[in-house]
Structure 1
């Protein structure tokens, strides 16, 4: 009798753990990326990397986000500096994100943030939240 109970318990545990694994695989069927950077000039190689990954992975390529944080966050309000990066990011399917915490800390006028950029309350927290969703992460 103990053997039947233990066998049934073992079988149920295996079935539930396999179902959970399949659900996780379904949610992460694309390769998603997030890069946290503190310097605007780094956008050039980051966007080139996204383009290469997209070409290499084809249909497996998912979302690519770049979070900009730190003391140089004010550079995103320089339209001359940002125009080419925004255009290249849009062409590559890269989403640019500004850290609201950095904007507030360094007293940057949020009305001057390009409308193409998403602003999140806390860039570091947002990065961790994306990692929990299965995003591959890199900080520069």
Structure 2
């Protein structure tokens, strides 16, 4: 009886441990990136970097995400500042993401956020979750 219980517990532990490992694995043939920034003007060099990496890596280039957070988050609602960045990001395969926590804290009017900019509840948490999935991360 003890052997049966011990074997069952060992099987359950092994099953859940393997499931966790598989969930955190990523496609090793793709390079995925996430950058956390506090200033909209930094999008220009970030997008240039994404373009260079895409050209250099070819088919190995995966996702490239930029998370904007901090007290200057309101700049994303300025069409003059964002228009060119959004177009360039789209061409480069860069996803622009706004931090919902920052938008709430600094009272950003969410109706004025461009359609091409997505948002997450907590940008810092999202960044860490992506790192756990194997994304290369940089904060500037």
Does TM, normalized by the shorter one, top 0.5?
A: yes
1:70 maps to: 70
CA distance in 2, matches of 1:41, 1:78: 12
Structure 1 segments unaligned to the other structure (5+ residues) = 1-16
CA distance in 1, matches of 2:79, 2:111: 13
1:126 maps to: 126
CA distance in 2, matches of 1:116, 1:28: 28
CA distance in 1, matches of 2:41, 2:70: 14
Q: TM-score, normalised by structure 2?
A: 0.82
Cα root mean square deviation, aligned? 1.7
2:138 maps to: 138
Q: TM-score, normalised by structure 1?
A: 0.82
CA distance in 1, matches of 2:56, 2:62: 12
CA distance in 2, matches of 1:125, 1:89: 23
Q: Does 1:32 align with 2:32?
A: yes
Q: CA deviation at 1:28?
A: 3.2
**What secondary structure sits across from 1:138 in the alignment?**
strand
Structure 2 segments unaligned to the other structure (5+ residues) = 1-17
After the TM superposition, which residues 102-117 of structure 1 pair with which residues of structure 2 at under 5 Å, given as runs?
A: 102-117=102-117
Q: CA deviation at 1:29?
A: 2.4
**What secondary structure sits across from 1:29 in the alignment?**
coil
After the TM superposition, which residues 8-47 of structure 1 pair with which residues of structure 2 at under 5 Å, given as runs?
A: 24=25, 27-47=27-47
CA distance in 1, matches of 2:137, 2:108: 26
CA distance in 1, matches of 2:33, 2:135: 5
Q: After TM superposition, what 4+ stretches of structure 1 lie above 2 angstroms from structure 2?
A: 26-29
Q: CA deviation at 1:103?
A: 0.2
C-alpha distance after superposition, 1:76-106 (max 9, x if no partner): 0000110000000000000000000000000
